[in-house]
Structure 1
Amino acid sequence: MRQTPDDPRQLEALDRELARYSKIELATNYLSRPIMGAGLALIFILVVGLSAFLAFGQTSHSVIVVIAACLGAYMALNVGANDVANNVGPAVGANVLTMGGAITIAIIFECAGALVAGGDVVETIANGILATESVGSSSNFIWAMLAALLSAALWVNLATWVGAPVSTTHSVVGAVMGAGIAAAGVDAVSWSTVGGIAASWVISPVLGGGIAAFFLWFVKSRIVYQEDKIAAARKWVPVLVGTMAGAFVSYLTLKGLQKTFQIDLESSLAIGALVGVVVWAIMIPVIRRQSAGLENRNKSLKILFSIPLMVSAALLCFAHGANDVANAVAPLAAIVHATQLEGMSTSLQIPAWVMVIGALGISFGLSLFGPKLIRMVGGQITKLNPIRAFCVAMSSAITVIFASSLGLPVSSTHIAVGGVFGVGFYREWEADRRRRTARAVAPSNGAFAKEERHLRKLVRRSHFMTIIAAWVITVPAAAAISAVIFLTITAR
């Protein structure tokens, strides 16, 4: 007898077949995603190389410029894949921004920062680490910069693959240093600059973590733990948002807009303070309206921090684009400069097309490969919500201002990730303190057994150790790779 479509056995077999095809489709999509990303990245690099060839094909150094442009594009992709996660990761982890929204905001503001305010840091990296006159000849300098560019890109690529947010600034500094030593010995390197970079390994994350923990303590003590949370929020959230606005204005004028105009620290702080007061006054009625009708519980407080967190993510991306585009294109700018002048000069002119490569490369790298590190920073180190993520963003801006006032070089990556660590470790300390207080009151109380088990997960130690290890070895690893590449390409 012929079975009908309603036969349970036939339907069961059909369900199994559909489930099998569904699993095959999911597996195919999972495997094809990295291949597609790599293919699009390769197309971008080839387009950059072709554009450089069309622009410089008639010059005597066309091959070198084309290779350097391709390597600059490769490095820019890696900067976007690794570094930008520090700016938008906390907002994504706090569920304030979707992955797509975060990437869109980052692309717009990273490009704006790179093209509007980028430049001065490029010159610092290209000329400030390696004493160009000591390498002997312009050809040696060009080969050293090519080696540095490839080395830094390879190291950041490896770090992204293992899921470690590293400082791309330290990567390119180490790479330039290694190539310079291979080219002309240790005297070719400006060791005072390198010493400052090494000091920032410790200074950046400790400052970032400490300031983030302080703001989390402040928010909890002044708002979260108050009996009337909404009334406390109406009083203190405008103050916090005004402080954040003032800090970001000082941050941008001091570190992100040096190409547009020069400003000293005192003037920058004064402008920031003025803007902070204005924003504080504006936010008072805004928070009052936004908090109307909210229930007196912690979930309501998170709503009040969502918009400031989104704005802070955008501003961090702008400042990052202005500063860290240098990590992608500084060696490229130095190579183009050296080839055009047929020699070396201390005055470095940065072509507009070099900055465009950096801006577009960072954007493509973030779109194609950024989600992995965004998830790492936003949720895999410790759990974030809008309040904790806001504290991390505040820390990023204020730490840079504080370090600049002391003349200390800092890493935006180390500050942001250090802020995430600081928030997580503060939560562990607070949970431990509450547990010990409860035990003192009721020694036989076993209610905290579950919390004790959860306490170990507030900061994932495996991620913590992986990131710290990657930070420590970034400069020597990039330097070693760069030296090997330089010696290989210059071997006769």
Structure 2
Amino acid sequence: MAQPRIRLAKQTIDKDLDKLSLAEEASQHVRRSLAAPALAGLFLLLSMAFAASFVTSSVTAPIIIAAAAIAGYMAMNIGANDVTNNVGAAVGAKAMSMTTALAIAAVFEIAGAMLAGREVALTIEAGIVYGEGVLGPQAIVWIMMAALASSAAWINIATYSGAPVSTTHSIIGGIVGAGIAAAGFSSVQWWSLAGITLSWSVSPLLGGTIAATFLAFLKEFIIYREDKIAAARRWMPVILGVTAGSFTAYLAEIALVQVASISLPTGLGLGAVIGTIIYFLTKPWIYRQSEGLDNRNQSLRKLFRAPLILAAALLSFAHGANDVSNAIGPLSAIVSALDGVIATEKSPAPLWELAIGALGISIGLLLYGPKLIRVVGEEITKLNPMRAFCVALATAVTVLLASALGLPISSTHTAVGAVFGVGFFREWYIRNSKRRMQFVRERTGQTDFMETAETNFAEVRRRRLVRRSHFLTIVGAWIITVPASAALSAVLYFILSGIFM
């Protein structure tokens, strides 16, 4: 019998093809991971080129271009860490996809920063440390440069670690730390800083209180009513009208001040008109949306998806108006100081500086935002569209009010405070609401369920609706942010001043 011929060529087998497929998937993953840093670097280069086109002096050009790049880097970190508060609640409530949330936040962040970002930028620029008679232009340049770089680095570390820290705390801590390093404690405007610090303490409490109040209204007048759909048809147009009217009045009085001068009565009247129009427009829309829905809470969640998207957009606008100052305030102070001018709280921030901040925030959000969106929206307390609506609207109201007053509050504190406020209120409401107690008794036929649950303290503790571990972790991150950014900024100031001064 003839011997079989030995094949010298090795046949391709499925295992080899699988290896090729795995290699291709791995290379695609690497390309995706490298895409975000590449796009971020491209934006920084564009920021530098954009700043260079507005520089008039060749002597100061290198410093301004470098400052623009650092401000752009700071803005991207704000977008990655801070803007998550705007849409985290909506994503956590499954009211919108991550892609939709990112797109809405990016558009309205830019609008808020460009239209209403100047007021708070002035406080960051000239309201933290003394310039005239204490520091001088050259010291101001390196104080603000050190504050920008150290704050951006700290926020970058926090974002990588998954901690939603306050970018406002970071930049103000950086300015204070570098100011003290430059000229001692007398360089800091302590009374102004005390007012800002007070607003930091009040804003999460105010956000939590407003969110809990909104939720209490919804529970009393819609959720625990016999006919939930009829109650929603009655009250939801009112809620949307008040929201739209208040935002219109804010736009007229604060955000559009650079475009036109509108008196307070005119602004309030315009808000009332728009609110009334929205009420009558949304009334038939709510009716159509509610047709055929069952009389249960799941139906209400569907009705609240569109209002929640509106609230998330409003909050993104408010955040852009308030937090763009964290990147642009120091940049504006640097540009003024290099021109030999000490910035005051009436110095306008140029439009090109606002543009760098606005675009940087949106790019940072799109590239690096999803991670912390999940922390805020899903890991503190369980949110549905109704609770998320309360969180977003309460945060927007608080941040818009602070922006109107020129206070650089922390939108992170406010949004997280609102989330905790909703969770703690639900814990209290479940144990103490007579309306809910009566409603559940009628539906279940039980009469002693509350008494039984309240005597079992282990069960009450197990059923807590707010994760205390996240509460303590986030508060700890807030407390350490100011001293950490201040210390880092002071060290960086000594390095920069030693090299360039």
**TM above 0.5:** yes
Amino acid of the residue matched to residue 472 of structure 2?
M
Distance 1:266 1:468, change over 3 A: farther
Amino acid of the residue matched to residue 484 of structure 2?
A
Matched residue, 1:469? 476
Deviates more, 1:67-76 or 1:233-242: 233-242
Matched, 1:331 2:330: yes
State how far apart, in whole Å, the 1-side matches of 2:396 and 2:361 are. Answer: 21
Matched residue, 2:293? 294
State how far apart, in whole Å, the 2-side matches of 1:428 and 1:22 are. Answer: 51
Q: How does 1:233-382 map to 2 (within 5 A)?
A: 233-253=232-252, 255-261=254-260, 271-339=270-338, 341-346=339-344, 348-382=347-381
Matched, 1:213 2:212: yes
| 1:438-489 deviation digits (Å, cap 9, x = unpaired) | 9982677899999757624x32222211211122222222222211111121
Matched, 1:479 2:486: yes
Matched, 1:193 2:192: yes
Q: How does 1:76-225 map to 2 (within 5 A)?
A: 76-225=75-224
**Maintained 8 Å contact 2:237/2:279:** yes
Distance 1:192 1:320, change over 3 A: same
| 1:158-186 deviation digits (Å, cap 9, x = unpaired) | 22122222222222222112211111122
Amino acid of the residue matched to residue 496 of structure 2?
I
TM-score by length of 2: 0.85
Amino acid of the residue matched to residue 88 of structure 2?
G
Amino acid of the residue matched to residue 293 of structure 1?
G
**Maintained 8 Å contact 1:91/1:97:** yes
| 1:339-371 deviation digits (Å, cap 9, x = unpaired) | 2x2343536343332122112111110111011
Matched, 1:421 2:412: no
Matched residue, 2:9? none
Deviates more, 1:23-32 or 1:85-94: 23-32
Distance 1:289 1:448, change over 3 A: farther
Matched, 1:411 2:410: yes
Amino acid of the residue matched to residue 366 of structure 2?
S
Matched position secondary structure for 2:194: helix
Matched residue, 1:488? 495
**Maintained 8 Å contact 2:119/2:406:** no
| 1:301-347 deviation digits (Å, cap 9, x = unpaired) | 112111111112112222222232111111111111222x2343536
Q: What displacement does 1:376 show?
A: 1.4
State how far apart, in whole Å, the 2-side matches of 1:459 and 1:489 are. Answer: 45
Distance 1:253 1:345, change over 3 A: same
State the identity %: 50
Distance 1:362 1:459, change over 3 A: same
Q: Which runs of 5+ in 1 are unaligned?
A: 3-12
Distance 1:384 1:252, change over 3 A: farther
Q: What displacement does 1:224 show?
A: 1.3
Distance 1:446 1:343, change over 3 A: closer
Distance 1:25 1:444, change over 3 A: farther
Matched, 1:455 2:443: no
**Maintained 8 Å contact 1:203/1:410:** no
Distance 1:209 1:87, change over 3 A: same
Matched position secondary structure for 1:490: helix
| 1:260-310 deviation digits (Å, cap 9, x = unpaired) | 346677765554444333322332222122211111111111121111111
Q: What displacement does 1:65 show?
A: 1.2
Matched residue, 2:7? none
**Maintained 8 Å contact 1:208/1:418:** yes
Deviates more, 1:224-233 or 1:436-445: 436-445
State how far apart, in whole Å, the 2-side matches of 1:447 and 1:181 are. Answer: 55
Q: What displacement does 1:50 show?
A: 4.1
Q: How does 1:26-37 map to 2 (within 5 A)?
A: 33-37=32-36
Matched position secondary structure for 2:179: helix
State how far apart, in whole Å, the 1-side matches of 2:14 and 2:258 are. Answer: 65
Deviates more, 1:128-137 or 1:405-414: 405-414
Matched position secondary structure for 2:304: helix
| 1:150-209 deviation digits (Å, cap 9, x = unpaired) | 122112212212222222222222211221111112222111221112112321111111
| 1:397-422 deviation digits (Å, cap 9, x = unpaired) | 33356768999764322221111111
Matched position secondary structure for 1:299: helix
Amino acid of the residue matched to residue 380 of structure 2?
I
Distance 1:345 1:464, change over 3 A: closer
Matched, 1:60 2:67: no
State how far apart, in whole Å, the 1-side matches of 2:309 and 2:472 are. Answer: 29
**Maintained 8 Å contact 1:382/1:420:** yes
**RMSD, matched Cα:** 3.4
Matched position secondary structure for 2:59: coil
State how far apart, in whole Å, the 1-side matches of 2:118 and 2:218 are. Answer: 37
Query: Would you say how many aligned residue pairs link Structure 1 and Structure 2?
Result: 478
TM-score by length of 1: 0.86
State how far apart, in whole Å, the 1-side matches of 2:87 and 2:453 are. Answer: 41
Amino acid of the residue matched to residue 480 of structure 1?
A
Deviates more, 1:254-263 or 1:138-147: 254-263
Matched position secondary structure for 2:498: coil
